[in-house]
Amino acid sequence: MNVYWLEQTIADVPEDTDWLSENETASLHGLRFPKRSDEWRLGRWTAKRALSIFLNVPADPLVFRRIDIRPAPSGAPEAFFDKQPAAATISLSHRGGLAACAVAVSGAEMGCDVEMAEPRSNAFVADYFTVEEQALIARASAADRDRLVALLWSAKESALKALHEGLRLDTRCVVVSLLEASCDPKSWSRMLVRYTDEHRNGNRLFHGWWRLCDNVLRTVVAAPPPDSPIPLALSEHCFESASSLCA
């Protein structure tokens, strides 16, 4: 299965909001804090940019207003086009002014996440990781520890999004297995993430990919098993607003 990947930053988001749908405009007005508003706009912008390429529709405000990103009852983002479910599955994540959107065919179970490789306490590791994962972290060198913790945490987040559960589930129900590690920051490496919950009779296996570049971990998992994420190219799909045109 193909999974497509797009990243955007706060600097990429237009200052105006004429590209938001009517529902999204109302939601934006309900956000009180500027930081939350900026992150929310960044996520919507990244999703619409990715969807416009995936759905092969023009990148302009009139079309973007017809794309509506709504939260499902679970909180997961769902895409609509002209008030009908779009022929796509999306997952969103943002951290530190960077947002990522993964896109796949309708009906796929998919989750993505971005995390900064930063120091995490031993208490954090003890609370959220399995005994096996804690042992793996304990064996890591001091230089590798932060990156490994961020990778395992990000993979768990991706799987919990694919399950449409988020952090409502115990993160120790999700076990990450790293299958390879590429030295090329442009390449993705494979992993497996298994969800097991005896109380819910849950047992799922997700195949996934991870990549580390510029101290940022990116992860995506899906079922059916995805091929390595395909970057979406914006060079030939430029957004044209009323206030700025693409060169």
Percent of the chain with pLDDT over 90: 81
Q: Given a cut of 70, is residue 244 above it in pLDDT?
A: no
Does the domain made of 4-108 have the CATH classification 1.10.10.410?
no
What residues does CATH 3.90.470.20 cover in the chain?
4-108, 112-223
Q: How far apart are CA 228 and CA 178, in angstroms?
A: 15
- CATH number for the segment(s) 112-223: 3.90.470.20
- Give how far Cα 109 sits from Cα of 1, 28, 32, 197, 198, Å: 11, 28, 32, 18, 21
Q: Which amino acid is at 25?
A: T
User: 133-173, pLDDT tens digit by residue?
Assistant: 999 999 999 889 999 999 999 999 999 999 998 888 889 99
What's the pLDDT at 169? 87
- pTM, entire model: 0.91
Q: Are the C-beta atoms of 223 and 206 separated by less than 8 Å? A: yes
- CA 9 centroid distance within chain: 14
Q: How confident is the model at residue 246 (pLDDT cuts 50, 70, 90)?
A: very low
